Amino acid sequence: MLYTLKKKHLFVLISVEEENPEFWRSSAQNTLRSALSRKHNTNVAKNIVLFLGDGMGVTTITAARILKGQLQNRSGEETVINMDTFPFVGLAKVYSVDFQIPDSAATATAYLCGVKTNLNTVGVSAAARNGVCHSQKGNEVTSILKWAKDAGKSVGIVTTTRVQHATPAASYAHSASRTWYSDTDLPTSAVTGGCLDIASQLLRNTDIDVIIGGGRKYMTPKGFPDPEYPTDLSAQGQRNDNRNLVNEWLSMKEGKVARYVWNKTDFDAVDPEKTDYLMSLFEPGDLRFDVERDPSMDPSISETTEKAIRILKKNPKGFFLLVEGGRIDQGHHDSRASMALHEAVALDDAVARGLELTNEEETLTVVTADHSHAFTFNGYPFRGNSILGKSPIFAMDFLPYTTLMYGNGPGHKITDNKRPDIRNVDTTDKDYVQQSAAPLDSETHGGEDVALFARGPMAHLFQGVYEQNYIPHAMAFAACVGTNQEHCAATTEPDEISFTSTEPGSSAPNTALCAMTTVMLSVCMSVLLH
């Protein structure tokens, strides 16, 4: 039973049951019984689905949980989002080799390729230097997407950014700079040094079955008109080499059913049962924010996730799929919390769709972030207060402030030594820029650990606190891909598991033999693979 308490124009939903101590005791006992009945799934993971919320720190997850509940006309705080239902949770340390607080390129290299590296570089070790072409030669590292493909699995990328952006790029490219999207972006030293742009590597390095996101302009010759925005000069092709990578990709798939689409009508018409390869590029650059998306032109991340899984799951050997909610990060950089949180809610919806389409007994599903943001959840708002609203208690300057704020960013505005008066400002508007403590054109990342949620085969390997580069090694172990497969061989005794480096081509395998019970498996993995 609920009753409503009015507090200065705030309507707080109070549950009568919550006033009874037995409500909370019973809830705790239910959680305890669930924990005690939890069994480790030690199956080999036929499939892996990795959901990556770019910039989705713990504060973002909490705020998105409340927003999702409030969008459903509930108080919000008690909401259980899809990632909350995952039984195993860990924390990943996100620093890069050279910086205390990382970017999306260094982190993507860690959680996809299994090695930490330097800021701004993708698919290379820390021996490579930011922007120095010759330094990447011989220092390339491969990703779990390639390990899965080499094992005979189908592989795919789904993102809400351009498919050449840092996160997806680390799954297939090797670049001393994350910003070398097309050949136009290569400096002269990189051209003479023989380095390739990221878009061209999308075709060259790994045979990817499904590619969905944005980034059309990096795939076509300079001046090539965009099919959706033919008069927009900024949307035109950017390549200096006169290559049309879309046409090249289609020609490479001779003998297979390969489809290229750029709008929702054609996307919806793609039959997963009759499609071997799909490339869908819905925008010249990044996709639109979900709240601004035209549903008649661009599908949601849930819809793209579903299409990818339906195509990939036809492979009897299974699949690996990376799904990135990339614009969470961009909403935060703009200090538009509403945009960032709606993107996080959309990603959580995609998680639900992924779980519906896969079998937990054979599919390892992981949800995590690459890094957080300088994003705070503060003040003393009443229960049920809009997560995008204001604290009911004014600051010492006798002005209100929002529940969500940023440590730095474009929201820092001081006039006559005063903060802006937001009493009559709609802070729930999608374009509202949250106030910040320090002035910057673009808000920065945060450096605290990020959460990782796991369910399915070997999900218990993701408990505790670990380096971010541990993640792909544990996923590869669960799926028996890469070189770390001795535990999968028929000759291996049930109580004996051996380990080698997961990175193919490693010059110095780290080999050990562990006799253990399933309960001790995660402990041994942590020691051997760190």
- Known binding residues: 54, 165, 167, 324, 329, 333, 370-371, 445
Whole-number Å distance between alpha carbons of 101 and 448? 8
d(CA 121, CA 104): 9
Strand partners, 50: 322, 366
Distance CA 389, CA 427 (A): 6
Question: CA 268, 273, 276 angle in degrees (round to 5)?
Answer: 90
* Residues annotated catalytic, as ranges: 104
Distance CA 166, CA 370 (A): 11
Report how far Cα 184 is from the mean position of its chain's Cα atoms: 27
**Coil, helix or strand at residue 350:** helix
Amino acid at 397: D
* Closest alpha carbon to 170 in 111, 248, 241: 111
Residue 40: closest CA among 483, 449, 523, 512: 523
* Burial of 201 from C-beta contacts in 10 A (0-12 / 13-18 / 19+): buried
CA 369 – CA 51 distance, rounded (Å) = 8
Strand partners, 366: 50, 454
